Amino acid sequence: MSLHITGGEVLADTLVRADLSTNGETIAGLDDAAPADALRLDATGLYVLPGIVDCHGDAFERHIMPRPGVAFDIDLALRDADRTMLASGITTAFHGVTWSWEPGLRGADNARRLIERIAALKPELGADTRFHLRHETFNLDAEAEIIDWLAGGRVGVLAFNDHTGGILKSTARPDKLAKTVERTGLTHEDFMALAGNVWARREEVPASIERLAVAARAAGIPTMSHDDMSPEMRRWYRGLGVTVAEFPINEATTREAAAHGEAIVFGAPNVVRGGSHLDCPAAEAMVREGLCTILASDYYYPALPLAPFILARKGAADFATAWRLVSERPAQALGLADRGVIASGKRADLILVAPEPQPRVVATVAGGRLVHLADQRILA
């Protein structure tokens, strides 16, 4: 099917009033004649923007387990998350799947089921949905299987995470630790015994990370380091070819990444809420200083389409630059050269947004298909 979108302000290099046509899965061009069989959309009063590329979204975990210990079918969860993402203009989604040494929600069985079901459901999902493996670096027993996944092209992006130290430190915060224990299905005593055994192997972790980074490079899989704690840590990961800094926890580490032209990810919820809920750098301030190149949904999908409007309204960036943080820049960082911009020949991932009074996604087009429609009045 072809589409012909008229009357909108299209974000090319800047916002311009233009008509836009698609040819199947790709963008045909601006101000071309409408194909004879095109579905016509009237975008008068709307922005026509590149679809959002979400490099890190783990909100779907709540679709699987909305309350600790209360689980739902994974297929149901993935389909429901897909509808939620499309309503937020996300046309390419990297589901952040944590595979930890813990059992339960973030255990091996869940990771294996998710990689299988994401692949199986991919043809019917509206968003181009991919597997973002959040590898807990202390999960040493998973290394060989992950290397197989990387070699087989089953992983969209590999992120190195280390929450083990934080979990052990939270023993001083029983309320916080209880939530972690509850999602595993273990007793407190069994969980602490497991954590102690895992921590005892800590000297094996750096070599495992190095082997996985080599395997990812060999397979052409992009990699990220999560929650870099210091410039030294960022330099160490850079030496392994891991050149995307995901949620650096302080400004010094962020500046270390920026000084080397690396992609730097912060959360769109950070922008919408006006700051980090974990006392990490404020994303708006990082954007103002050129220290943030990508915004991700993190734990809240609706923040992604709102954040660029907020940044532009507050003068942190012009709108075109702010929107690139959720479209072109993540696509570039993840090696997706076919999307993230509105240009002839690029993948037809588009969203129609009513900018006022609060930005609202009216329609989403993914791969040339109209996959979300919130207002039938735009059907010309």
CA 256 to chain centre: 22
Give the pLDDT score at 170: 67
Element (H, E) at 88: none
Fold (CATH) for 52-333: TIM Barrel (3.20.20)
The answer to whether the bond into 103 is cis (omega within 30° of 0) is no
CA dist list (Å): 334 to 111, 196, 220: 21, 36, 10
Domain with CATH 3.20.20.140 in the chain: 52-333
User: Taking a C-beta distance cutoff of 8 angstroms, is the pair 49, 324 a contact?
Assistant: no
Tell me, letter by letter, the H, E, C secondary structure of 103-157: CHHHCHHHHHHHHHHHHHHHHHCCCEEEEEEEEECCCHHHHHHHHHHHHCCCCCE
**97: which strand partners?**
133
Asked if 80 and 63 count as a contact pair (C-beta separation under 8 A), the reply is yes
What is the location of CATH 2.30.40.10 in the chain? 3-49+343-378
354-366 residues labelled b (16+ CB within 10 A) or e (exposed): bbeeebbbbbbbb
pLDDT at residue 171 in the model: 66
**Residue 249's pLDDT is what?**
95
Q: Please identify every stretch of the chain with a pLDDT value under 70, giving residue numbers as ranges.
A: 170-173
State residue 124's pLDDT score.
96
- Give the Cα separation of 287 and 271 in Å (integer): 10
Distance CA 284, CA 303 (A): 13
pLDDT digits (tens, 9 = 90+) for 153-202: 999 999 999 988 777 776 666 777 887 888 888 998 998 899 889 999 99
In one letter, which amino acid is 212?
L
Pair type for strands 223-226 and 244-246: parallel
The residue among 258, 248, 239, 329 whose CA lies nearest residue 283 is 248
**Quick one: tokens of 89?**
């203009």
Integer Cα distance of 16 and 293 in angstroms: 24
Is there a contact between 159 and 56 (Cβ–Cβ < 8 Å)? yes
Do 239 and 231 contact (CB within 8 A), yes or no? no
Distance CA 346, CA 221 (A): 22
Q: Which tokens in the block code for residue 203?
A: 């000297």
Residues 313 and 336: their CA atoms lie apart, in Å, by 29
- pTM value is 0.94
Give CATH superfamily name and number for 3-49+343-378: Urease, subunit C, domain 1 (2.30.40.10)
Give 318's DSSP letter. Answer: -
